[in-house]
Amino acid sequence: MGLAEARRSRNDKAFRDVSEQQAARDRTTPASVLPMDDTEMKPAPFEYIAATSTAEAAQALAAANGDGKIIAGGQSLMPMINFRLVKPAVLIDINRIAGLDRIEKLGERLRFGATVRHRMTATDALVSRHLPILHDAMHHVAHLTVRNRGTFCGSVCHADPAAEMPMMTLLLDGSITALSIRGERQIAASDFFIGSLTTALEPDEFVTSIDIDTLPPETGWGFEEFSRRHGDFALACVATTLRVVDGVARDVRFGMMGVGETPLRLPEIETLIEGEALSEALLQDVSEALKGLLHPNTDIHASADYRRHLAGALARRALRDAWRRATLCKDRTDG
């Protein structure tokens, strides 16, 4: 045996001896008294509750006195907990609550339960048929592993201004159902987003579902997003819907993300387009108007001027797509 092999053999034996001694101690020491402090874990200590009903979850959240968090997918929450940016005393899991994992059509609205995953949203037939713009947007949401766990409602509640689901909820006149021990209340999407990562939810409330409009027949849509890499948060994004009636745009909706502290719905742009035929002059007017309306941040990813430039370019593409789709829908209907 050479010198290197002898050293390796001695080291392996020493490791086995230490491992066996540690294993023997662990077998004879109750787990409850094994030495461990909170510095050995990524998150700060918290109590975990797996709720089996919305009432139980509401009671647990109220009992936490503002120091509780709801978890469904946890794709945003858990990294924040692991970095100790958030230190809840109680973590309340709602994944075992029956009925929250459904997408349902209620009249002219779609309802998304609190545990509906991004993957379900991306593959659901109701979404594809009645909300093709949302179906298309799902291709831009993060990556496969995140989509498998992350939820539609969780993304809206996280309220990242560069995330797709908050913008889509605002664009499609969403209504958020919030529950607490005081009962349910409905919050319009226009009132829900207060600032970056900040919503109108009270500390003892959690979201059980979100309702959004379906698109009427003959509606065209456009969705354009730009990010540094696929799946990254958007540097800028435009989503728009419209119908073409007698050669002009009607029922125009225009939303953006990545260019402000919240997702944006821009009535000034909607008014500018409403009742007009699409033309290069109109697209130029939209682009110029956006420069005055938007006040994006400058950060390590892009300057404010670059984001305003992107907004104009993406708006042109999205509006062209929406007009083309609306025209094709109308031609098929008339034919």
Who's near 45: CB < 8 A, 6+ residues apart? 38
Place of tokens 């829900």: 192
DSSP calls for 54-110: HHHHHHHHHHTTT-EEEESS-TTHHHHHHTTS---SEEEE-TTSTT-S-EEEETTEE
Place of tokens 């409850």: 32
Place of tokens 């209504």: 175
Q: Indicate whether 239 pLDDT > 70.
A: yes
Single-letter amino acid code for the residue at 21: Q
| Sign of the four-CA dihedral 141, 146, 149, 155 | negative
Instruction: pLDDT band for 41, please (50, 70, 90 cuts).
Output: confident
Q: Indicate whether 154 pLDDT > 60.
A: yes
Least-confidence region, from 15-19, 85-89, 158-162: 15-19
Q: Indicate whether 12 pLDDT > 70.
A: no
Phi and psi for 276 in degrees, rounded to 5? Answer: -115, 150
Asked whether the beta carbons of 295 and 308 are under 8 A apart, the reply is: no
Spatial distance between the Cα atoms of 148 and 142, rounded to a whole number of angstroms: 10
pLDDT in tens, 90-145: 999 999 999 999 999 999 999 999 999 999 999 999 999 999 999 999 999 988 88
Q: Indicate whether 33 pLDDT > 70.
A: no
Q: Indicate whether 20 pLDDT > 60.
A: no
pLDDT at residue 13 in the model? 46
Q: Indicate whether 328 pLDDT > 60.
A: yes
CA 4 to centroid of chain Cα atoms: 55
Q: Please tell me the number of Cα atoms within 13 Å of 293 on its side-chain side.
A: 20
Task: Work out the angle at residue 197's Cα, subtended by the Cα atoms of residues 194 and 287, and round it to the nearest 5 degrees.
Answer: 70
199, with CB counted inside 10 A (0-12, 13-18, 19+), is buried
Task: Please state whether beta strands 183-188 and 219-226 pair in parallel, antiparallel, or not at all (unpaired).
Answer: unpaired
Question: 41-93, which class in CATH?
Answer: alpha beta
Spatial distance between the Cα atoms of 37 and 271, rounded to a whole number of angstroms: 59
**219-334: what fold?**
Enolase-like; domain 1 (3.30.390)
Domain map (residue ranges) of the chain: 41-93, 103-213, 219-334
**103-213: what fold?**
3.30.465
pTM above 0.85, yes or no: yes
Phi and psi for 4 in degrees, rounded to 5? Answer: -65, -40
